Amino acid sequence: MNDIIGNFGRLYHPQAALVFYQTEGQRTDTYVEYFDMDESGKPINAHPLTIKEANALAKALKTAKQDKEPCLQSGGIIGSHILSIETDKGKVVWFTKAMQRDLYFTEDLGIPNGKAHVPPMLWMADRDNLYVFALRTNGRPTPRTKLYNAPFFNVYANGNVCMGTVDIHIKRTTSLEAFTAAWENYFFNSYFSHLMRDFNPIKGNCVCLWERLITTGEAFPKEILEKSRITLKDVLNYEYGKD
């Protein structure tokens, strides 16, 4: 005899049953009766549906609905820039290569808005929070890759981005591609305004750096990057993102 137990799916056992009663006429009243189930699956212990039982039912129905919703599904082949996906937690870790981006600054900084080269970056986000770091090379990061502070304003020492008054709205059903694109747009299309808690992320003056890069259009000087105290292992650990 072959052992075929491993081929079985999850077995569902009846736990409860609901019977709905309604009066006739234009104005109908509804009464719900709740039954427990015995070991043989027969309804027993009939009683009116309680608030506690109704709340448990609503929670079960919500969970079932969410399980059926597509979450961070890719529209095709997953790009090599994606490092980690946790659909149950709505978390993605990815990286971008060095590129030129439009940057915006508040008037108080005295830096003109414009295009500038930014370094390769590592990103980690869920639907509510964003963390960013800088990389030294365009290669795909590995567990041994060193992370550097993101050389931008509005970023804490742990990489968490202060989005200020930006209205973050990412649906649960957002595709993987739309998710990463949305966060990159939120980050670069918001106004950089100040350093966080006197944390200077680079070797040198952050205002002077971006003023020069905007004005000259030169490549980003990687020698000014400061090593981060955060590791890639920390980033891949979801609890880090909860700090």
User: In the predicted model, what is the mean pLDDT of residues 11-31?
Assistant: 76
My answer on whether 95 and 50 are in the same domain is: no
**Quick check: is 188 in a domain?**
yes
State pLDDT tens for residues 99-155.
999 999 999 999 999 999 999 999 999 988 999 999 999 999 988 899 999 999 999
**Quick check: is 148 in a domain?**
yes
Question: How many distinct structural domains can be found in the chain?
Answer: 2
State pLDDT tens for residues 163-172.
887 888 888 7
**Quick check: is 74 in a domain?**
no
My answer on whether 200 and 170 are in the same domain is: yes
User: In the predicted model, what is the mean pLDDT of residues 200-214?
Assistant: 97
**Quick check: is 129 in a domain?**
yes
My answer on whether 106 and 200 are in the same domain is: yes
State how far the Cα of 69 lies from the Cα of 29, in Å rounded to an integer. 33
Say if residue 4's pLDDT is above 80.
no
Say if residue 21's pLDDT is above 60.
yes
Question: What's the pLDDT at 158?
Answer: 93
Question: What's the pLDDT at 139?
Answer: 94
Question: What's the pLDDT at 9?
Answer: 45
State how far the Cα of 19 lies from the Cα of 17, in Å rounded to an integer. 7
State pLDDT tens for residues 175-190.
899 999 999 999 999 9
Cβ of 83: how many Cβ atoms within 10 Å? 19
Place of tokens 């041994």: 144
Which are the contacts of 152, defined by CB distance < 8 A and separation ≥ 6? Answer: 132, 192, 201, 206
My answer on whether 30 and 98 are in the same domain is: no
My answer on whether 50 and 89 are in the same domain is: no
Question: What's the pLDDT at 53?
Answer: 81
CA angle 6, 8, 10 (to 5 degrees): 115
My answer on whether 115 and 58 are in the same domain is: no
**Quick check: is 181 in a domain?**
yes
Segments forming the whole domain that contains residue 20: 10-68
My answer on whether 63 and 107 are in the same domain is: no
User: In the predicted model, what is the mean pLDDT of residues 36-45?
Assistant: 83
Q: Sorting pLDDT into bands at 50, 70 and 90, what band is 72?
A: confident
My answer on whether 101 and 206 are in the same domain is: yes
Question: What's the pLDDT at 70?
Answer: 55
Question: What's the pLDDT at 28?
Answer: 72
**Quick check: is 2 in a domain?**
no
State how far the Cα of 188 lies from the Cα of 115, in Å rounded to an integer. 11
**Quick check: is 113 in a domain?**
yes
My answer on whether 115 and 212 are in the same domain is: yes
Q: Sorting pLDDT into bands at 50, 70 and 90, what band is 92?
A: very high
3-state secondary structure of 34: strand
My answer on whether 86 and 27 are in the same domain is: no
Question: What's the pLDDT at 81?
Answer: 94
Name the token pair of 136.
């030294």
My answer on whether 166 and 218 are in the same domain is: yes
Question: What's the pLDDT at 98?
Answer: 98
Q: Sorting pLDDT into bands at 50, 70 and 90, what band is 5?
A: very low
Question: What's the pLDDT at 20?
Answer: 84
Mean pLDDT of the chain: 85
My answer on whether 183 and 216 are in the same domain is: yes
**Quick check: is 75 in a domain?**
no
